[in-house]
């Protein structure tokens, strides 16, 4: 407003728009980096929680397999083991039961 030259006013307005655009880009970049930083942080927290949960589940599964293993040692009937095998849903359980069946059949031979 201090100058009366229209060309100079246009250049000034253009420079102001360019500065505003650059400032807006900087703000968007800062916002995006904050957004991604918080997502990564929460993702790390989820990983920690999932890791703890998976460790607990694995420990419980190991305890269950140990007790199943002891139970299988006391069973000496292949038919009973076969019934257990049909009722088992977990891979590791089925694996232990199959091993017990093979062991009993080997002892019978």
Under DSSP, the state recorded for 77 is -
Inter-residue contact 75 to 103 (CB < 8 Å): no
Residue 29 predicted with pLDDT over 90? no
How many residues are given for the chain? Answer: 109
Please state the separation of Cα 80 from the chain's center in Å: 39
Could you read off the pLDDT of 56-98 as tens digits, one per residue? 888 888 888 888 888 888 888 889 999 989 998 888 888 889 9
Global pTM? 0.49
As a whole number, mean pLDDT of residues 29-49 equals 65
What is the rounded average pLDDT of the residues 26-46?
Answer: 68
So what's the pLDDT on residue 66?
A: 86
Average pLDDT of 39-44? 54
8-to-16, 21, 40 alpha-carbon distances in Å: 12, 20, 48
- pLDDT higher at 46 or 83: 83
Angle at alpha carbon of residue 74, lines to 83 and 105, rounded to 5°: 65
Structural domain boundaries in the chain: 1-55
Q: What is residue 23's predicted lDDT score, i.e. its pLDDT?
A: 92
**Whole-number Å distance between alpha carbons of 11 and 19:** 12
Residue 51 host element (H or E): helix 6-74
């Amino acid at each position: 407003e201090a100058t009366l030259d229209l060309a100079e006013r246009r250049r000034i307005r253009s420079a102001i728009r360019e500065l505003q655009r650059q400032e807006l880009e900087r703000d968007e970049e800062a916002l995006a980096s904050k957004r991604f930083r918080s997502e990564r942080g929460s993702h790390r927290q989820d990983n920690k929680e999932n890791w703890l949960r998976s460790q607990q589940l694995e420990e419980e599964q190991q305890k269950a397999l140990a007790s199943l293993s002891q139970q299988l040692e006391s069973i000496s009937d292949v038919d009973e083991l076969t019934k257990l095998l049909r009722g088992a849903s977990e891979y590791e359980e089925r694996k232990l039961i199959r091993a017990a069946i093979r062991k009993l059949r080997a002892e019978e031979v």
